[in-house]
Homo-oligomer: A and B are copies of this chain.
């Protein structure tokens, strides 16, 4: 069984670890639905709050996406487009602001890349869709 009520590890962490293993091992594939919250409360004998904390943890790790009124699903990794970091440019990784997340349509647990070019102009790119490269010279 996955859940041990007498363990020192919090229930929500045990449950998150259970699904994290399933996701990373491929038993739960991208796009697959997690059981509904009420289903999990019955299945594992855990209260709804602990269930929600577990799913929230997986969301914050970028493993799961939740759609209200619908369910929680394993995030399918988008194919990344490679972007060349121009000479004189720099890049940092950070979490998006609320408006950035909304504008870019980002799921929870997805950072952004903030690019600053030589002129000081900045651009914010979705962290799950971009790979930053510096090509080898000719």
Contacts and interface: CB of A to CB of B under 8 A. Distances in A.
Interface of A: 60-62, 80, 82, 85-95, 97-98, 108-113, 118, 127-128, 130-137
Nearest to A137: B87
Given A60-B95, A62-B95, A97-B61, A87 B127 contact: no
A93 B127 contact: yes
A135 B87 contact: yes
| Count of chain copies | 2
B134 A95 contact: no
Contact of A80 (B92, B98, B130): B92
B134 A90 contact: yes
B95 A61 contact: yes
Contacts of A93: 93, 111-113, 127, 130
21 contacts: A60-B95, A61-B95, A82-B90, A85-B85, A85-B132, A87-B136, A88-B135, A89-B133, A90-B132, A90-B133, A90-B134, A91-B131, A91-B133, A92-B130, A93-B93, A93-B111, A93-B127, A94-B111, A94-B127, A111-B111, A111-B127
Of the listed residues A113, A128, A137, the one surrounded by the most CB atoms of chain B closer than 10 A to its CB is A113
Contacts of A128: 94
